Amino acid sequence: MGDADAEFRFALGNGQYLQILDRNIDGGTIAVAVIPLDLDGFDRIEAVRRLLSALHGRAIPPDTRLTRQQRARLRRMLRAFDGHKAGATQQEIAEELLNIPRLSRDEWQASSARHTIKALLRDARSMVAGGYRKLLRHRRPR
């Protein structure tokens, strides 16, 4: 390595590291991406392609990991979770997220909106507990 070369290694806290390399090549400093050649390498290559496009002012390729419907559901999950953490009842969350009128106790107990909110909160708790990492990967056949 030349005098201007630098290497930075950051612990991610899960036994893995992020490594950033700056190299002096032909008088210019460049950043280098190192991509492990495991199955997740395909996802990493796509991410580096999007980063490179952004760095050079080109059109950024779409991120295909999530569909529009999945993104909308994730937004609802986060909003439901935030509302729950702020002390809102499930019915209050449903009124806001699903745009439903105030229901009587019996109507609420039989409402599909109640089950929708329960599912959103259940899945949001799973994401907060570490499931969000799944969002970084494409689904692959087993």
Q: What is the pLDDT of residue 5?
A: 67
Could you state, in order of their start, the residue ranges of all structural domains in the chain?
6-55, 68-136
Digitized pLDDT (tens) for each residue of the chain, 142 residues in all: 445 567 777 776 667 676 777 666 666 667 777 788 888 888 888 888 888 898 889 999 888 888 899 999 999 999 999 999 999 999 999 999 999 999 999 999 999 999 999 999 999 999 999 888 887 777 766 6
Residue 3, burial from CB neighbour count under 10 angstroms (0-12, 13-18, 19+): exposed
- Res 140: pLDDT: 66
- pTM check: above 0.75: no
